[in-house]
Structure 1
């Protein structure tokens, strides 16, 4: 009877904790528009766009220049809170991965506010943690809207050689601050799937390995526990659309090394969500995840999580295209062949000017694609495409019925019905 009663108490405690976390995330979600930074409305902003936002932060935010990029742009750190648990968060290690950067500035507005029902949450977080934000670690990459630094090096593969000043700075911050937790914030392909399904991996996590054996010590265990809670929270908003990366050890990567150096590393990747090309909804999900995670760190509630649930999060898959046309006949050499056609729409810069870009829809795959999915799909049974349909061509086609009537058009990768 004692065993059963204690089991009940444990279950009740976890239930209460879960309900409390869900209630908090719902309140944060309902009030998000109050805190969204209005100056950031799309992903392709630059270093010069963030500088005035940091200059306008209240005095309680300690803003310091902690380094310079290869092209001599300032790299700033924003310090907030005075608690014993240190948390380091950085975004745009890759210059063209800006979703979490927008969310960080939403967080700044949240922490600058008061008298709105969240003061207890702010006090809990800022009295028990000290937060160190580096909102744009690779400003040169952001300027050119490219993954790599101005040296042409992928900073996330520079943790050993430390050829980039940005990479040297990140290691210096970790070694100097010795944070208990570290959030490594990225964007991933918007076409990853959550496992072998047709659901997009809108957010993906990883508790990086710190050695080839992928062992779990206390440092990595904390990463897993925190991710378990964040996954449960996000399932409310994107059910079935949370994934995790393979934890294969990458000895050159910062995430793996920072885990090895003693900080519990949580990798968050912003993927794809239908109808959200600027990732503004995913930005909101980052905001919710970061605030929920910081509250769990401040309260210690993450310790109640069972790391077995981490392994139940499906791994990232590569099963989704932007548009998948199924069961269409394509005429080649006078013969109609049955095939599927996959199309992706890519952003391309105009004359290497990252602020000016256009969309090009291209045929990415051709043949039996029955094991793949499309964010948008069309069953084209009984329809035929005439013309040049092959890998790599621009996706401009007409789909006709047997009597020659045009039923659909695909223009630059976009499916258009014909009335």
Structure 2
């Protein structure tokens, strides 16, 4: 099965870019056939509907949710691409429908999605509200946990461009975690069940993005959704969709979310039996997945000559793109964020200044938080971090 070809073929063209809200998904939901059950499972702080999508009649129940953080839409796009495959009379769709009952919340935080913020309208991070459940969106998710009683949960997120896979010099395009269930971060059957599925996804994804699959940090915090759910005995997998080379809108990254979802459900029962016979090997394989590492900046400029306090010196500096919502679109604005002590970091784009002199409207030395608009030798012009031709 060429899963990358399927991911491309079933990509939903109506959902593009980094701004995905209820308004964008409603028409796509309406296009799904009657094998899907679409409902409103609750409302947000601002009374926006929280949609639920149910598919299949199988005995194995999986609950998944995306955009718990409103500004993390890549997994939502990948989820809808997966729905698009299930919205066919293919053998794959029939097999999944017969084996599983999927209950999916495409956008758990519709207020945050509309405002393009991590938090909800009360400025609460829903992924730190699992225990106290103060927010209406958190109560929706807790209610589904209690009524649907899933056998497995998928917690779908985006991660920033700062993450790479440790020791590879490559971006972490997709990362996984089998969350801890206690402070000691021990492994029990609940975590091992999640680990087995992660290992299978990793094996398939390595065919397409070798060394770009990461293992997310497993520090325990019972207020985090995945940690809480694992602690009550339900295997949970954290998905973190990250950066792919030159893919700031994450149209490539969404393909790997699709592949991961499809892989997780194919031959599920057979692999579950295999895991029970090979727990130690499964754990070893999981721990071989490179750890996520904060080792990237979007832009790094090396060998830059500057004037600082009337002293000429050579520096390296870095810029990072801020994502700003402007008129219903996300604008990427490069801001200077670090100067020197960057030897251990890589840039998604690296520029060798070749000892040319830095200058900007505000002076001859880069300043933190300033836009990355500057000149080298007063002739090479950089606008929004990149050379202006």
Q: TM-score range by the shorter chain?
A: over 0.9
- 1:322 aligns with 298
Matches for 1:368-387 after TM superposition, within 5 Å:
368-386=341-359, 387=364
Q: 1:336 aligns with which of 288, 291, 312?
A: 312
**Per-residue CA shift, 1:100-131, capped at 9, x if unaligned?**
111111111111112xxx41x22332211111
- Residue 105 of structure 2 corresponds to residue 137 of structure 1: no
Cα separation, 1, equivalents of 2:231 and 2:46: 30
Q: Quick one: distance in 1 between partners of 2:229 and 2:349?
A: 39
Q: CA deviation at 1:297?
A: 2.4
Alpha-carbon separation, structure 1, partners of 2:250 and 2:356: 34
Which of the pair has more CA radius of gyration?
1
Count of residues paired in the alignment: 380
Change (3 A) 1:55 1:382: closer
1:395 equivalenced with 2:367 (yes/no): no
- Counterpart of 2:97 (choices 115, 122, 126) is 126
Q: Does 1:198 align with 2:173?
A: no
Partner SS, residue 274 of structure 1: coil
Aligned to 1:216: 187
Contact 1:180–1:262, Cα closer than 8 Å, also in 2: no
The equivalent residue for 2:38 is 63
Report deviation, 1:175.
Answer: 1.9
For 1:256-294, what per-residue CA distance to the aligned partner results, in whole angstroms no more than 9, with x for missing partners? 011112221010001111211111111111001100111
Measure the CA separation in 2 of the matches of 1:356 and 1:81: 35
Q: Distance in 2 between matches of 1:63 and 1:236?
A: 35
Alpha carbons of structure 1 residues 106 and 299: separation in structure 2 relative to 1, 3 Å? farther
1:229 match: 200
Distance 2:308 2:41 in 1: 61
User: What 5-or-longer segments of structure 1 have no aligned partner?
Assistant: 1-23
Task: Give yes or no for contact 1:197–1:373 (8 Å, CA) kept in 2.
Answer: no
1:288 pairs with 2:275: no
1:12-411 to structure 2, matched below 5 A, reads 24=1, 27-114=2-89, 118-119=90-91, 121-300=92-271, 303=275, 306-350=282-326, 355-386=328-359, 387-400=364-377, 406=379, 408-411=380-383
- Larger mean Cα displacement after TM superposition, 62-71 or 84-93: 62-71
Q: TM-score, normalised by structure 1?
A: 0.86
* CA displacement at 1:151 relative to structure 2: 1.5
Query: 2 CA distance for matches of 1:262 and 1:178?
Result: 11
Secondary structure of the residue aligned to 2:172 is coil
Contact 2:163 2:293 in 1 (8 A): yes
Does the 8 A contact of 2:373 with 2:384 survive in 1?
Answer: yes
Report how far residue 416 of structure 1 moved: 4.3
- Would the aligned equivalents of 2:21 and 2:107 in 1 still touch at CA under 8 Å? no
Cα 1:97/1:163, change in 2 over 3 Å: same
SS class of match (1:382): strand
Contact 2:19–2:330 (CA<8 Å) still a contact in 1? no
Unmatched segments (≥5 aa) in structure 2: none
**Using the alignment, how far apart are the partners of 1:313 and 1:34 within structure 2?**
29
Give the C-alpha shift of residue 30 in structure 1: 1.6
The one-character-per-residue Cα deviations of 1:126-157 (angstroms, maximum 9, x if unpaired) are 21111111111111111111111112111111
Q: C-alpha separation between the residues in 2 aligned to 1:379 and 1:165?
A: 50
Q: Per-residue CA shift, 1:48-74, capped at 9, x if unaligned?
A: 221232223211111122111111111
Greater share of helix: 1
Q: Where does structure 1 differ by over 3 angstroms across 4 or more consecutive aligned residues?
A: 298-302
Structure 2 distance, partners of 1:296, 1:366, is 50
SS of match in other structure, 2:368: coil
For 2:181 and 2:200, the matched residues in 1 are separated by 22
Question: Distance between the aligned counterparts of 1:247 and 1:104, measured in 2?
Answer: 24
Alpha-carbon RMSD: 1.8
CA distance in 2, matches of 1:341, 1:416: 18
